[in-house]
Structure 1
Amino acid sequence: MPKRSFYETQIKFGRKPDTVNQSLTIGASKDPDIAATGHGLETGDVIYIEGASHPAANGFFTVKTRSSTNFTLVGQDFTGAGRISGARYAKVTMTGFCDATSIDVEPAGVSFTDVTTNCDNYPQEEGELEAGSASMELYYDPESRVQQMLENAMFSQETLYMQTKPKGVNIVRGFACSVENWKYRGKVKDKYTANVGFKLKSRPHDATLS
């Protein structure tokens, strides 16, 4: 198995489009079939959905195309949701980011609660899934459009979408996230650096590219 390097890793960020007005029909199933005539999307693209009658069908999603009129939302399961109506979508513009020097991602965490009773002969614990987190070290540049977007998103608590793809890997991974902290530092005879922390707001969306 090849050892992957951080060199030439693609990192992209996107935000909710200003206008979300294209209609679509969402199937109530696993890997739901989305009917949207002439969508013009490619596998790995990101869309934003709002107005859907099922809450989990709203937000950011990476798509996998099936035809010129159909695609699916990667990693989603709406089985048992019934008819999902009222949904509108728009393609998200993803902007590349080339200031990062490292990235650290924890897709999720698990906290455990002791549920041991008098009838147990060994401690028993139950796990509960917790939201994941991510952080990046980067070179600080106050003129960087993406860095400005990240800092502003922290103050407004706007939800963003982040995608990563290491060089030579045929899978693009995406998360909805919010900026949890942002700090930068300078030092004599050294470059300005910064650190940005994220709270993840979705499971990972992994799309295999063709």
Structure 2
Amino acid sequence: MAASELFGQRGRLFAGILLCCLLAGMMVWAGTTTDDPLEHQYPTDVEVTPTPETYVGEQVVLGGQIVDTDPVVIATRASGYGRFLLVDANDQVQNVDGALETGDHVTVFGTLTDEEALVVEHGLTQNPDDRGYMFLVSILGGLLVAGRFLNGWRFDRKALAFVPRSKAGSRGNEDAKARSQLDGENEVDRNTQPTPNIKRGGR
């Protein structure tokens, strides 16, 4: 193996490892820097629901299902436990489907004014079907891209690189063509060889 080829393989391997490390680092960095109050480390309904009196006067994030719309009340537990009145929910909660309705899932950010009331500063509705649809489309798109890529490329373990499959196919076709041509030449040579004269002996 040539020194330049060996260096090229090591360079590609090093570049691949470096890119993976950079990707992981950017994912961690992106996950820790956000301006959305719903993504900050404020107390959530998991912490607030058991002891709401502890968080009165603090900014919290509550998520749950709307159980009443006049006024808007949510339950942070599926059993209906952990009910909070959402003040100004109709004005502050972003809902593309229109007015808030019973059964909608919401996540709200605001100040807990007492043990059962939250003044909403920002909020949004969440449709469970939307998340499933997003994951399904992402998976199908990834499989489609991977399939098209693998259909045209293959991984060469010796070169530590992806190479077009057409190269391997054309190389095999060239080899087969060369063998066929060589067989044809051999056949021509055999046909052009002089036939030895056979003398018949007399009695």
Q: Is the shorter-chain TM-score for this pair beyond 0.5, marking a shared fold?
A: no
Higher relative strand content: 1
Higher relative helix content: 2
* Bigger RCO of structures 1 and 2 (CA < 8 A, at least 6 apart): 1
Name the TM-score, length of structure 1 as normaliser.
0.22
